[in-house]
Chain A
Amino acid sequence: MALSGMRGLSVFISDIRNCQNKEQERLRVDKELGNVRTRFKNEKGLTPYEKKKYVWKMLYIHMLGYDVDFGHMETVSLISAPKYPEKQVGYIVTACLLNENHDFLRLAINTVRNDIIGRNETFQCLALTMVGNIGGREFAESLAPDVQKLLISSSCRPLVRKKAALCLLRLYRKNPDVVNVDGWADRMAQLLDERDLGVLTSSMSLLVALVSNHHEAYWSCLPKCVKTLERLARNQDIPQEYTYYGIPSPWLQVKTMRALQYFPTIEDPNTRRSLFEVLQRILMGTDVVKNVNKNNASHAVLFEALSLVMHLDAEKEMMSQCVALLGKFIAVREPNIRYLGLENMTRMLMVTDVQDIIKRHQAQIITSLKDPDISIRRRALDLLYGMCDVSNAKDIVEELLQYLSSSDFAMREELALKAAILAEKFAPDLSWYVDVILQLIDKAGDFVSDDIWFRVVQFVTNNEDLQPYAAAKAREYLDKPAIHETMVKVSAYLLGEYSHFLARRPGCSPKEIFSIIHEKLPTVSMSTIPILLSTYAKILMHTQPPEPELQNQICTIFQKYESCIDVEIQQRAVEYFALSAKGAALADILAEMPKFPERQSALIKKAEDIETDTAEQSAIKLRAQQQMSTALVVTDQRPANGTPPVGQLSLVKLPSMSSNPDNYSADEGVKQENGILSIVDPEPPSADLLSDLLGPLAIEGPPGAVQSEQNVPGIDGVPSAADAAAIVPIEEQKNTVQPLINIAERFHALCLKDSGVLYEDPNIQIGIKAEWRAHQGRLVLFLGNKNTSPLVSVQALILPPSHFKMELSSVPETIPPRAQVQCPLEVVNVRPSRDVAVLDFSYKFGSHAVNIKLCLPAVINKFLQPLTLTADEFFAQWRSLTGPPLKLQEVVRGVRPLPLLEMANLLNSLRVMVCPGLDPNPNNLVASTTFYSESTRAMLCLARIETDPADRTQLRMTVASGDPALAFELKEYIKEQLVDIPTSSAPPPMAPAAASPMAPVAPLNDPGAMLAGLL
């Protein structure tokens, strides 16, 4: 084989190779760059051959990692050379040196276009390749139609067409808005009949890109894909050169199955059957063979088949075959297969309910956690994290803890965080949780972020039973010779608050506690000293009767730090010293920390941020990122959550403030207490660092669940049915004055927005403006007299359903001419229900008495706060809610056909927030929201709607929430919104409550049983 054929280039490469060190190499490169630069300057004397040679040199230097900031123009200009050798070099080097948005590329567009539409097929190939590799927006704008023509041209040879297919793929992928693919479904279907496998492979890649955007348009391609797959799998009519180690083009097989994964389902039973036959054959017929490449290729196909089966949600039997295969794979020695086995098992957790079968492999997965390969360890960790639930949390977390001490640094932080999250989520009892976190801190203190220990403090504070235990544990750790500073912090805090529970144990007298903590003081950093000072003050306060010796010791320390350079320390020292002189009053001031408001763990939020990019980050960088992520959480938490957290916080503090209103000094003390306490430990109580509770806390169980459970059958059930019946007869009103608007339509519109006209007739207009805050609402009714004479005998009565507390301010009896009066109405939502409040409104105009009954748009969705969840949060919650009555599913028929996007908009306008991209199937919508009522408080609700693209009038809906009544009511409500057509005038506005197809004769007392009856 001839060498490069360019002597100058070979010499240069040899020179570089002979350089002894980097410095020499740089000198040689600089010399060459100088040479090329001068040659390019007087371009006239340059032969095409020389130009070509220099351009290659530039690419070589670029590849070595040096900046080549000149000569791009010369490179691009080679593209317009008339002869093949120069043109080729021009195209290839341009594609390597320049990015899609480089200015010089613009200069070449014309030449490139001429080459593409020209007759020279080799030039066409060069141009298509370059555009395919770096084509940007401008290329898409000016070239896409020409490329499309080439792809479907019957006169072009396969070598041009396959490049055209990928070139088009690039342009479409980068700028789908520019490339017009209307009507391409038929062309793609034709392309799939292509005999040349090169063209077919490229076209299949193009199809994958097209269907991933808009699968609806490409239904006609589906059977062709299945046919192609059959042909390949049966090895029918495949040219020898397209088999790879005896396997008919594994790449084409993989791509075809990938394309099929973008179609939500397969309707046609014959196509479905053929596909399942092929898949069955692949699943069962793939053996492990000796040849590495054959093995890889066949398993590439097998793993793709596995994902396709998972996607199609196949029959149970096939699913269990898949799990069995994966179980086999995670036990093999071959690392690639084991890696992929673990990875696909994790994916499987996301898609289906196979957790129990996967749990059987737990021991095997734990072995992989100790594999020498970090890639495999990561997969094993992810899988263990994903499969963890209450039943196996203890084993898994303990395994993670054990592994923590021997694991490498790259993984420790992730491990520590995951262990902490699992311990929190699935703790069988709280003392175990405390054990785990303390062990974590002990074993990997450097990798335990502050949030982890804040969280444990929060739990201990909120659970009185736990306090003596936690204090005892903290005391034990202090006996260890060398402990991590975080351990000093957490144990000092716990002992400061709760060591008095231990006073009778040996070694736990206040004095002993003090001295063992004080021993650590010289070893800790400035940030820990304030915590220690607070602890001393608390110990002092708890020591009853006071011990003068201890008091002296501690006061000496306070005095010592009164001149500390650190402001925080100094302030505490001064204040505590002053307080310690107050004797008994100290106890009032330094009382125990109040309970923290319940919050959702900030850790879980963080986990996702980290998961995305843990690969090669240092712990420090990671921490910085975490801090940023907390900041983000805070900012978007506020608007989503509204005011309740602030209210809760102020509730905690207010009583202590107001309890001493007339005692000036004590009042001051209280103020100080608040001030100091928030300094003592600013993080845990403040809403800033730990985000607030949105859903039920894993450990505590859903708050108020018991109450609402009781509410369902008795109070909520029967009366609501009765209420509904009472509201019905709106059409029966015999008013002589006819409304000017469609009442039902207005009501529906106002369900989705907060202000507008509720009712209007020739005499009066009733407008409404509403504000909603968590479980409370304030509506203002605007009663406007349209006439020039007064309306008299005005009466407004509210008929509230049982789940609302409503209060309407007084309504004047007379509305003056052309005047508007405002009547505020307060609403408190007690529990979830779809029943609607009715406004019974009457007035007299002249001799006509008018009476109207209007539904008020205080409906269930007004008490929702939209909430966007990440995939992990969503699926964790989704899985934890299993089956009725917490998770209800129903197939709904007769749905008003809506495009998916509109349906998503509808849900969003109901404040049920669609979380795009969570569901792998693009035809499905998953959504999340928080519901507020007095009984449920803030309660997370999740919904999933699976649509059928072939039949838009039916769908399957699943609604889950921690409260059974809520799940049922919300499901019904969403269903009504999807089934009901707001524009139709036929159904009366209260149809949702009364005439819904779902409201049966039977009492609504058991949603679960009702649902069963319906199914």
Chain B
Amino acid sequence: MIHFVLLISRQGKVRLTKWYSPYSQKERTKVIREISGLMLHRGPKLCNFVEWGGLKVVYKRYASLYFCMCIDPEDNELETLEVIHHFVEILDRYFGSVCELDLIFNFHKAYYILDELVIAGEIQESSKKTVARLISAQDSLVEAAKEEASSISNIIAQATK
């Protein structure tokens, strides 16, 4: 299973963290520090796997951003590597050629999308189309609620005028 997902920029800034195994706040900070140290110092053209504390880190760099997932040592590494790519492709489709800035200002969207892709550290949906459909349905629900709220506040505003 995937124990956690980290998105870390080349400068070591954290862009997203998601933990599927329980780690305390202290442990989380330590894990992030250790993994950044390991991952960011690896040169290009090396393999995408690093062994770390009895687990395995599968990572891939996209432009300035490192995507990383930590799995059990007996798990399938390449499969995980393609979960990462699958996630990136969905982000790309959603934001329209995604860049780090999109993820900085819309980090909550990245969380929504990840939740549609992975639950309990296992992939739940391998169709990009389905994920895209579900996310846009969520967006419209939020939009609808917003409109409703504003129309109600209009009504109230008018009534109290």
* Chain B contacts for A62, CB-based, 8 A: 25
Interface hits, B109-159 → A, CB 8 Å = 111-112, 115, 119-120, 122-130, 134, 137-138, 141-142, 145-146, 149
CA distance A258 to B1 in the complex (A): 12
B62 at the interface (CB under 8 A from A): no
Interface hits, B4-36 → A, CB 8 Å = 14-20, 22-25, 29, 32, 34
Instruction: With both chains docked as a complex, state the minimum distance between the C-beta of B132 and any C-beta of chain A, in angstroms.
Output: 10
Say whether, besides A63-B107, A293-B82, A615 and B52 are in contact (CB < 8 Å): yes
Instruction: With both chains docked as a complex, state the minimum distance between the C-beta of B47 and any C-beta of chain A, in angstroms.
Output: 4
Instruction: With both chains docked as a complex, state the minimum distance between the C-beta of B92 and any C-beta of chain A, in angstroms.
Output: 12
Find A336's partner among B81, B102, B115 (CB 8 Å cutoff): B81
Interface hits, B82-118 → A, CB 8 Å = 82-83, 85-86, 94-96, 102, 104-108, 111-112, 115
Find A254's partner among B52, B76, B149 (CB 8 Å cutoff): B76
CA distance A67 to B28 in the complex (A): 11
- B28's closest neighbor in chain A, by CB? A65
Instruction: With both chains docked as a complex, state the minimum distance between the C-beta of A228 and any C-beta of chain B, in angstroms.
Output: 14
CB pair A615–B142 under 8 Å, yes or no, is no
CB pair B111–A92 under 8 Å, yes or no, is yes
* Chain A contacts for B1, CB-based, 8 A: 173
- A6's closest neighbor in chain B, by CB? B108
CB pair A612–B54 under 8 Å, yes or no, is yes
* Chain B contacts for A297, CB-based, 8 A: 78-79, 82
CB pair B126–A4 under 8 Å, yes or no, is no
Say whether, besides A17-B104, A133-B119, A163-B119, A244 and B126 are in contact (CB < 8 Å): yes
* Chain B contacts for A299, CB-based, 8 A: 78
CB pair A336–B47 under 8 Å, yes or no, is yes
Instruction: With both chains docked as a complex, state the minimum distance between the C-beta of A12 and any C-beta of chain B, in angstroms.
Output: 10
* Chain B contacts for A3, CB-based, 8 A: 105-106
- A205's closest neighbor in chain B, by CB? B122
CB pair B47–A241 under 8 Å, yes or no, is no
Say whether, besides A1-B95, A297-B82, A303 and B46 are in contact (CB < 8 Å): no
CA distance A134 to B125 in the complex (A): 19
Interface size class of B (residues with CB under 8 A): 35 or more
* Chain A contacts for B107, CB-based, 8 A: 60, 63
CB pair A84–B145 under 8 Å, yes or no, is yes
A99 at the interface (CB under 8 A from B): yes
CB pair B82–A296 under 8 Å, yes or no, is yes
* Chain A contacts for B47, CB-based, 8 A: 335-336, 338-339, 373, 375-376
CB pair A201–B119 under 8 Å, yes or no, is no
Instruction: With both chains docked as a complex, state the minimum distance between the C-beta of A128 and any C-beta of chain B, in angstroms.
Output: 8
Instruction: With both chains docked as a complex, state the minimum distance between the C-beta of B28 and any C-beta of chain A, in angstroms.
Output: 8
CB pair A197–B127 under 8 Å, yes or no, is yes
CB pair B23–A616 under 8 Å, yes or no, is no
CB pair A201–B76 under 8 Å, yes or no, is no
A613 at the interface (CB under 8 A from B): yes
Instruction: With both chains docked as a complex, state the minimum distance between the C-beta of B154 and any C-beta of chain A, in angstroms.
Output: 15
CA distance A926 to B16 in the complex (A): 45
A242 at the interface (CB under 8 A from B): yes
A304 at the interface (CB under 8 A from B): yes
CB pair B79–A251 under 8 Å, yes or no, is yes
Find A99's partner among B24, B37, B76, B111 (CB 8 Å cutoff): B24
CB pair B119–A300 under 8 Å, yes or no, is no
CA distance A85 to B105 in the complex (A): 18
Instruction: With both chains docked as a complex, state the minimum distance between the C-beta of B156 and any C-beta of chain A, in angstroms.
Output: 13
CB pair B46–A99 under 8 Å, yes or no, is no
CA distance A613 to B107 in the complex (A): 34
* Chain A contacts for B95, CB-based, 8 A: 1
Say whether, besides A133-B20, A198-B127, A241-B129, A167 and B34 are in contact (CB < 8 Å): no
Find B53's partner among A166, A173, A616 (CB 8 Å cutoff): A616
* Chain B contacts for A133, CB-based, 8 A: 18, 20, 115, 119-120
Say whether, besides A10-B105, A297-B78, A373-B46, A101 and B52 are in contact (CB < 8 Å): no
CB pair A132–B48 under 8 Å, yes or no, is no
CB pair B115–A85 under 8 Å, yes or no, is no
* Chain B contacts for A249, CB-based, 8 A: 126
CB pair A132–B145 under 8 Å, yes or no, is no
B161 at the interface (CB under 8 A from A): no
A162 at the interface (CB under 8 A from B): yes
Cβ contacts B41-69/A at 8 Å (1 or 0 each): 01101111111111000000000000000
- B58's closest neighbor in chain A, by CB? A336
Interface hits, A42-92 → B, CB 8 Å = 49, 56, 59-60, 62-65, 67, 83-85, 88-89, 92
CB pair A201–B124 under 8 Å, yes or no, is yes
CA distance A363 to B46 in the complex (A): 21
A730 at the interface (CB under 8 A from B): no
A707 at the interface (CB under 8 A from B): no
CA distance A167 to B124 in the complex (A): 10
* Chain B contacts for A250, CB-based, 8 A: 79, 82
CB pair A202–B122 under 8 Å, yes or no, is yes
Say whether, besides A1-B95, A373-B46, A244 and B86 are in contact (CB < 8 Å): yes
CA distance A372 to B44 in the complex (A): 11
CB pair B78–A340 under 8 Å, yes or no, is yes
CA distance A1006 to B83 in the complex (A): 59
CA distance A438 to B8 in the complex (A): 45
CB pair B119–A167 under 8 Å, yes or no, is yes
CA distance A293 to B34 in the complex (A): 28
Say whether, besides A197-B127, A372-B43, A613-B53, A132 and B120 are in contact (CB < 8 Å): yes
* Chain A contacts for B120, CB-based, 8 A: 132-133, 166-167, 169-170, 173, 205
CB pair A162–B125 under 8 Å, yes or no, is yes
* Chain B contacts for A84, CB-based, 8 A: 141-142, 145
Find A92's partner among B22, B86, B112, B123 (CB 8 Å cutoff): B112
Say whether, besides A198-B124, A376-B47, A336 and B141 are in contact (CB < 8 Å): no
Interface hits, A634-680 → B, CB 8 Å = none
* Chain A contacts for B112, CB-based, 8 A: 88, 92
Cβ contacts A329-342/B at 8 Å (1 or 0 each): 00000011011100
CB pair B123–A201 under 8 Å, yes or no, is yes
CA distance A85 to B149 in the complex (A): 11
CB pair A83–B119 under 8 Å, yes or no, is no
Say whether, besides A56-B108, A293-B82, A340-B77, A372 and B124 are in contact (CB < 8 Å): no
* Chain B contacts for A59, CB-based, 8 A: 108
CA distance A62 to B29 in the complex (A): 10
Cβ contacts A148-179/B at 8 Å (1 or 0 each): 00000000000100110111011001000000
A13 at the interface (CB under 8 A from B): yes
CA distance A96 to B6 in the complex (A): 12
Interface hits, A251-274 → B, CB 8 Å = 251-252, 254, 258
Binding site for A on B (CB under 8 A): 1, 14-20, 22-25, 29, 32, 34, 37-38, 42-43, 45-54, 76-79, 81-83, 85-86, 94-96, 102, 104-108, 111-112, 115, 119-120, 122-130, 134, 137-138, 141-142, 145-146, 149
Known contacts A251-B83, A335-B45; 13 additional CB pairs below 8 A are A1-B95, A4-B105, A13-B105, A85-B141, A88-B112, A122-B137, A167-B120, A197-B127, A254-B79, A296-B78, A296-B82, A300-B78, A300-B79
Contact sample, A vs B, 25 pairs, CB 8 Å cutoff: A3-B106, A4-B108, A10-B105, A49-B149, A60-B107, A63-B16, A133-B20, A159-B134, A166-B120, A166-B124, A167-B119, A170-B120, A173-B1, A198-B130, A202-B119, A241-B128, A241-B130, A251-B82, A296-B78, A297-B78, A335-B47, A336-B48, A372-B46, A375-B49, A375-B51
